Amino acid sequence: MQEHPCPYGGYLRCDNPFCEHRYALSEVLHLCSDVLERISQGDPSQKIDLEFERYAVQRLINSINKVSEEVSAMISLTHELAIGICEHFDVLKRLYEGDFTATTSEDYQIEILRMLGHLINKQRDRFVEYINKIKEQYEEILQLYEQERTILSSIGVAIIVVEEDMTIEYTNSEFEALTGYKKEEIEGKMKWTEFFSEEMLDKMIEYHKLRRISPSLAPRQYESKLKDRNGKIKDVLLNVGMVPYTKKSIASIIDISERKKIQQQLIHSQKMESLGMLSGRVAHEFNNILTGIIVFAGLLYTKIEEPQLRNFVEKIIDAGERARDLAKKLLVFSRKEEFGEPQEVNLNKYLKDFSEFVKTIIGKDIEFKLNLPEEEIFYKIDPSYLEIILMNLVTNARDAMPEGGELSIGLKEISVDVEYSYTHPLVKPGNYIVICVSDTGIGMDEQTKQRIFEPFFTTKPKGKGTGLGLSTVFGLVRQYDGHIHVYSEPKKGTTFKIYLPVKERKMKHLIDKNALKGTETILVVDDDEHTRGFISSFLKEYGYSVYEAKKGDEALEIFEKHKEEIALSIVDLVMPGISGIEVMNQLKKIKPDAKVIIMSGHPVQLKDVITMEKTIFPEEILFRIRNILDKKE
Angle at CA 554, nearest 5°, toward 553 and 557?
Answer: 90
The string of pLDDT tens digits covering residues 159-181 is: 899 999 999 998 888 898 889 99
Which one is predicted more confidently, 99 or 348? 348
The per-residue pLDDT for 505 is 47
The per-residue pLDDT for 2 is 47
The hierarchical CATH code for the domain 155-255 is: 3.30.450.20
The boundaries of every CATH 1.20.120.1530 domain in the chain are 1-145
- For 96-117, b/e burial (b = at least 16 CB within 10 A) is eeeeeebebebebeeeebeebb
User: What is the number of other CB atoms lying within 10 angstroms of the CB of residue 226?
Assistant: 21
- Rounded to whole angstroms, the Cα distance separating 2 from 19 reads 10
The string of pLDDT tens digits covering residues 407-458 is: 999 999 888 765 566 556 566 777 889 999 999 998 988 878 877 777 666 7
CATH architecture of 343-501: 2-Layer Sandwich (3.30)
The string of pLDDT tens digits covering residues 307-340 is: 888 888 888 877 777 676 666 666 655 554 444 5
Instruction: Report yes or no: 14 and 20 within 8 Å, Cβ to Cβ.
Output: yes
The string of pLDDT tens digits covering residues 333-373 is: 555 444 455 778 899 988 988 888 888 888 788 999 999 98
The boundaries of every CATH 3.40.50.2300 domain in the chain are 513-629
Using pLDDT thresholds of 50, 70 and 90, give the confidence band for residue 406: very high
The hierarchical CATH code for the domain 1-145 is: 1.20.120.1530
The hierarchical CATH code for the domain 261-333 is: 1.10.287
Of 185, 197, 183, whose CA–CA distance to 232 is shortest? 197
Which one is predicted more confidently, 390 or 49? 390
User: What is the number of other CB atoms lying within 10 angstroms of the CB of residue 566?
Assistant: 22
The per-residue pLDDT for 344 is 84
The string of pLDDT tens digits covering residues 180-228 is: 999 899 999 999 889 998 888 888 888 888 888 888 888 888 889 999 9
- Rounded to whole angstroms, the Cα distance separating 624 from 633 reads 8
Q: Give the rounded percent of residues in the chain with a pLDDT score beyond 70.
A: 70
Average pLDDT over residues 49-53: 50
Instruction: Report yes or no: 378 and 398 within 8 Å, Cβ to Cβ.
Output: no
- Give me the residues paired with residue 225 across strands: 235
DSSP state of 167: B
Q: Is 587 left (phi over 0), alpha (psi -120 to 50) or beta?
A: alpha
Average pLDDT over residues 476-489: 84
The string of pLDDT tens digits covering residues 117-172 is: 788 788 888 888 888 888 888 888 888 777 777 766 667 788 899 999 999 998 88
Chain mean pLDDT for the chain: 77
- Rounded to whole angstroms, the Cα distance separating 126 from 133 reads 11
Residue 380 host element (H or E): strand 378-381
The per-residue pLDDT for 520 is 93
Helices (H), 382-526: 383-399, 418-423, 446-451, 469-479
Instruction: Report yes or no: 266 and 425 within 8 Å, Cβ to Cβ.
Output: yes
The per-residue pLDDT for 478 is 79
Backbone angles phi, psi at 573, to 5 degrees: -70, -45
Q: Give the rounded percent of residues in the chain with a pLDDT score beyond 90.
A: 17
Three-state DSSP at 581 gives helix
The per-residue pLDDT for 46 is 55
The per-residue pLDDT for 98 is 76
Average pLDDT over residues 14-25: 53
The string of pLDDT tens digits covering residues 254-283 is: 888 887 777 666 666 666 666 666 666 666
Whats the size of the chain, residue-wise?
633
- Rounded to whole angstroms, the Cα distance separating 629 from 567 reads 7
Of 444, 478, 437, 472, whose CA–CA distance to 456 is shortest? 472
Which one is predicted more confidently, 510 or 543? 543
- Rounded to whole angstroms, the Cα distance separating 122 from 119 reads 5
The string of pLDDT tens digits covering residues 606-631 is: 677 888 766 455 666 787 888 888 87
Instruction: Report yes or no: 526 and 572 within 8 Å, Cβ to Cβ.
Output: yes
Which one is predicted more confidently, 302 or 601? 302
Query: Which sign does the torsion angle of CA 462, 464, 466, 472 carry?
Result: negative
pLDDT for 386 beyond 80: yes
Of 46, 4, 42, whose CA–CA distance to 22 is shortest? 4
The boundaries of every CATH 3.30.450.20 domain in the chain are 155-255
Instruction: Report yes or no: 36 and 64 within 8 Å, Cβ to Cβ.
Output: yes
Would the pTM count as exceeding 0.85? no
The per-residue pLDDT for 583 is 92
The string of pLDDT tens digits covering residues 60-85 is: 666 666 766 666 666 666 777 777 77
The boundaries of every CATH 3.30.565.10 domain in the chain are 343-501
CATH class of 513-629: alpha beta
